[in-house]
Amino acid sequence: MKNKLLLGSSNKGKLNEIKFYLKYFSIYLDFDLITTKELNNFGEPIEDALTFQENAEIKSQYYFNLTGHATISDDSGFIIDDMGNYPGVKTARVAKKLGSEQNVMNDIFSKFGNISHLNATFFCAVSLVTDNKKYNCLGKVKGKMISQGIGNNGFGYDPYFIPEQSEKTFAEMQSDEKLKASHRFQAFKILSSQI
């Protein structure tokens, strides 16, 4: 029987991308992939740390401790250059609190007067915890957030983020293009060079 690699996320958009990167970078190809949806009554880790890296490791360690399976998790989000570390590790939480990504953008842009974009950086920390090793890799992509979403592809804040050297939002790109332009690509690239 093959060993199992647990993907410590229930976010469909993220899971699809993580599966792509595992293949693309030939990471743990001989393992059977399972997700947290296949675990019953395992609850959820409390992501209360102040950095993406710490939160990613909290997730991987939590599911590894419960299952004993090698676990890979990502913690991601964006930071507006002129807002300290905001929303940062709270990127998912503010969308939940305000009801949608568009509401988050409305709230952020309301603090800056009449402008249509803000410089920002998207981050992705990937943590892999196995029975004898731990990895933690941070990928980032600079760009800008725009106040009104454009494009229908992708997930989450994809319609609002235009990476440097592009004129398209992540949500306007074809899936292949976004997958190679993203913060998650950078994090998995670093991980693949370490294992």
When binding is defined by CB under 6 A, the residue of 86, 155, 177, 189 that contacts ligand IMP is: 155
User: Is residue 157 part of the contact set for ligand IMP (CB under 6 A)?
Assistant: yes
x/- site string to ligand IMP, residues 96 to 125, per CB under 6 A? ------------------------------
- 168: three-class secondary structure by DSSP: coil
User: Is residue 127 part of the contact set for ligand IMP (CB under 6 A)?
Assistant: no
Least Cα distance to 188 among 131, 143, 127 occurs for 127
Number of H helices, E strands in the chain: 6, 6
Distances (CA, A) of 147 to 65, 110, 111, 114, 134: 41, 10, 12, 10, 38
Q: Is 48 a catalytic residue?
A: no
Amino acid at 110: S
Answer yes or no: are the C-beta atoms of 127 and 62 closer than 8 Å.
Answer: no
Least Cβ distance, residue 1 to ligand IMP (angstroms): 30
Q: Which of these ranges, 25-33, 70-78, 129-137, 138-146, lies near ligand IMP under the rule CB under 6 A?
A: 70-78
Residue ranges in contact with ligand IMP by CB under 6 A: 11, 75-77, 91-92, 95, 154-158, 170, 182, 184
